[in-house]
Structures are given as structure tokens and as C-alpha cells.
Amino acid sequence: MTLARFKNVGTGALLTLLPWLILLVTLGVTWLAWDHEHQTTRRALRSQFDFSLREAVSGIEQRVTGYEQMLRGVQALFATTPLDNRAALDAYVTELQLDANFAGVQELGVLRANVAADPVRRGALEKARDSGMASISGKVYLKDDPATAQPGFVMFLPIYTQGRSHDSVAQRRADLTGWVYATFHMNDFMASLYGTQSAGLTLAMYDGTDTSEAALLYRAGGDAAQPEAARAGALAAKEYVVVAGHNWTLALSTQEPFEARYGRGTETLTAVAGTVLSVLLAMLAWLMVNGRARALQLAESMTRELRHMAQHDPLTDLPNRALFDDRLNQELARAKRQQGRFALVFIDLDYFKPINDTFGHEVGDKVLQQVARRLQDVVRAVDTVGRLGGDEFVVLMTQLSSTDPVLALAEKLQQALRPSLQVRGHTLSVSCSIGVAAYPENGEDALALTRNADDAMYLAKEAGRNCVRQCNRQAPLSVQ
């Protein structure tokens, strides 16, 4: 009798502690899941950040190489023309079309060998003379007053007497007749680089390896008063760039818009969903102790609702980014196994903000709901329509054949939005810009397809909006 009573007491105590044990275990699992998502997000963010850094360095090196080739052309001109032949130089510069082909050049000219120069320019002149190669000066101001002038630099290329050997430093010094030079404002130089800097990045250029304000050549993005101020979670890097025999330091750091654009954004969702699920499971255990049947029914209903809420947009009830990414990865795996084909379509509503501003957010929400229904009505049952947020939608067209016209299918989506919308007594018209990327021709992984579809969408906007663009690796291919 005593043993049986002891067993009952032990069982009762275990059942009482069971909800707390479940809560501790599930919270631990939630933390592990959150940490995994956090590390994955940081790796993806670092990859994009490194790409932006390499792109900036490559653009600078390519641009300096182009300017050096320009100076070599002028050098070749004065190999057969006297240095004081200004007319020949003016004619040559006119043919170069500096504004179109060599943007950023402030002045192009020649100097005689006995020209006087300040120490910074003198050092570059002597380096070019002795090496026979192009040389860049340190930080200079192209006007006398540093307070009003922009920082910049000067590139020099020596001119020697023709018909003689210039193999040694002594021979180069003896045969020097002058220099070809070009001056640059650093702001104009950076603005002339190919491509555009990703939003949300702070980029600074310094003369040499010194990163003090005195050596600053250029800064863009971020707070000008707090250049590269440390911010919790921000990525930062410095790259030493050697151009025309001179060192520059490129400093790059991330700001919140960059992290928001390229981050996965699932860490908070994982933490919230995991915490809620942990509490629900603990409540379920408690209900099981007090009434198993009622607890099971309640848990099933709440779990189903929670799963739906975690995977769908609350306004349109379309799959959200997390669910859409999962379906994209599933389709990618299927297409790779079966050598199949599918398309990723990015849709951005044109001029949606004026609707919100004019008629209010309630009308804007109704417009988004009608747009979501129209997109769902026009796609096939095997396709997925999702909402990424704001006025951005995305469509996954699965199981396409090799002959399916991707752009024609995307145009059906555009045509579905052309009829006017009736919202709260208002007749509204909505158009959209659409970017398309197809597997495998426009990318072989989720990141490449997403980036190409997004780029194609921005091409559609730049082309005047209300059109469709497909992006590929060689050149944009579009149908309007």
C-alpha cells in the first residue's frame, strides 16, 4: 500500500513538471534554430558585401587603366610633335571626346621637363620619369584654397626623346623632354566608375594607407559626420588598391538598408514562431495533464493556425517570403533531378504610393488584395504567387517545357492587371513592371535567379515601367 502510494505521488510530480520540461527543451531548440538562421544570414550578407567590395576595387582599377591608355595616346602624339604645339593637343583632345569616353578628367595637357611643382606632384613626376610608367600623385587640391576646392589627384606619363634607348634610369633622366598629365576631382572620378554602388553602403577612399580625415579623398553613403563609425552588427573591410604605382585605401561598411535588402529576415520570425510554439506546447502538456482530449483538439487547431500565420502574408493570404523560398528550393531541386525548366517572376506595382497618399491606406490595402486575387486567377494550379512586402509580388512558374515562351507567360500576368479596379467607389488603374529569370538559362541557383529577376524588374522600370524584361548573362532580352 505504501509502495503504491509512493508511485502515485512520483507520477503526479512528474506530470506536474512535464509542461515546464517541455518548455525548456523547446526553447532550447528554438535558440538552436535561431542561431542557425542567424549564421546563415550573416554568411549570405558577407557574400554580397564581399562582392560589392570586389566590384568597387575592380571598377577603380579598370578606370585608372583606361586613363593611362588615354595618356599613352597623348604621349605617342608628342613623340612626333613639339611640346608647344597646342593646336595639335586641342585637336587630339577633341577627337577623344573626354566627356563621353573619359568622364572625370578635369584637365589634359603637357609639361616641360624643367617645370616647378609642389612636393606631392614632384614626387609623382620623378617616379614617372625614372620608371617610364604612369604615376599618380598623392592627395592634391586643384585650386589654391583647400576650403573650397575638391580633393583630387594628378596622373603623369613621361615623354622621352625618340630614337634612343631608355633602358636605365640614367638614360630616362637624360632623355626626358616633358610629361603628359591629367587632373581629376575624386568625386567626379568615383562618379565615372561603371555600375552603381549598392544602396546602404558607406564607401571611403584614402590616400596611401593612412585612414585619417587628413588623407580622405572621397566618401559616399552613411553619415558624413560619422564616416565609418562602428555599429553593432555592421560589416566593414579595408582594401589596399595599387593604381599606377600609388596606394589607395578603400574602406567599405554596411548600413541598415543594405542589411535589410540582402538579409534573409527569418531570424526574428524563427525566434517568435519558436517561442510561441514552445509556449503552446507547454500549454498543451498542461492541458493533457488536465484533459487530454480537449488539449489535443486545441493544440491541433492552434498549431495549424500558427503554421499558416508563419507562412502567409496577413493582408493577401499569399505565401510569404519564407514559404515562397521553400517552394523555390523544392522546384530547383526537382528541375535539377529531372532536367526541367521553370521561371521566377518579380512584379512591382507602378505608382502605387500615390494611391495610398490620395485615398488612404485602407483603399491601398484593398487594391493589393484585388491584385493578389487577379494574379492567382491567371496562374496555373502548380504555380505559386507570393507577396514579398509592400507592392512587390513574385510568381514561381513551375514545370515549364523547353518551348514554353517565358516572356509571353509573364505578359499574361501584366494583362491581368490592366482592367480598372473598383475600390470603395473609386475607379483605379494599376500597371506593373515585371522582371523574369528562367532556370537554367538565367541562373542555376536560387540566389542567381532571384538577383537576375530583380535586376530585370529594375530594367523594366528604367525602360518606362508597365513592361516586361528578361535578364540573362549576356544581355537583357525584353518583350513589351
Work out the pLDDT band at 362, boundaries 50, 70, 90.
Answer: very high
Give the span between the Cα atoms of 328 and 447, in whole angstroms.
11
d(CA 54, CA 46): 12
- 306, 276 Cβ separation under 8 angstroms: yes
Task: Give pLDDT tens digits for 401-426.
Answer: 877 788 888 889 999 999 999 998 89
If you search the block for the grid coordinates 585605401, which residue do you land on?
249
- What average pLDDT does the segment 430-439 reach? 93
* Sheet containing 201-207, strands listed edge to edge, beginning at the edge strand earlier in sequence: 216-220, 201-207, 246-254, 236-243
Instruction: Give the residues across from 238 on adjacent strands.
Output: 251
CA gyration radius, the chain: 32
Domains assigned to the chain: 18-50+262-311 (no CATH), 63-190 (3.30.450), 192-261 (no CATH), 321-479 (3.30.70.270)
pLDDT tens per residue, range 250-306: 999 888 788 777 766 677 778 888 888 888 887 877 777 676 556 566 778 888 888
> What values do phi and psi take at 149, rounded to 5?
-90, 155
180 CB neighbour count, 10 Å cutoff? 26
C-alpha cell at 130: 625614372
Phi first, then psi: give them for residue 456, nearest 5 degrees.
-65, -40
Residue 34: what pLDDT?
81
pTM of the complete model beyond 0.75: no
Q: What is the pLDDT of residue 112?
A: 82
pLDDT recorded at residue 228: 47
Beta bridge partners of residue 216, listed in sequence order: 206
State the chain's mean pLDDT as an integer: 83
- pLDDT surpasses 70 at 11: no
- Do the Cβ atoms of 209 and 240 come closer than 8 Å? yes
Determine the distance from the C-alpha atom of residue 125 to the mean position of all C-alpha atoms in its chain, rounded to a whole number.
39
- Beta-carbon count within 10 A of 461 CB: 15
Q: Are 172 and 130 in contact (CB under 8 A)?
A: yes
End-to-end CA distance of the chain: 87
Residues in the chain: 480
Residue 387 — very low, low, confident or very high, per pLDDT cuts 50/70/90? very high
Specify the pLDDT at position 227. Answer: 45
Confidence label for 460 from pLDDT (cuts 50, 70 and 90): very high
Average pLDDT (153-170) is: 88
| Count of H-run helices and E-run strands, the chain | 13, 17
CA–CA distance, 407 with 397 (Å, rounded to integer): 11
Least confident range from 47-56, 116-125, 282-291: namely: 282-291
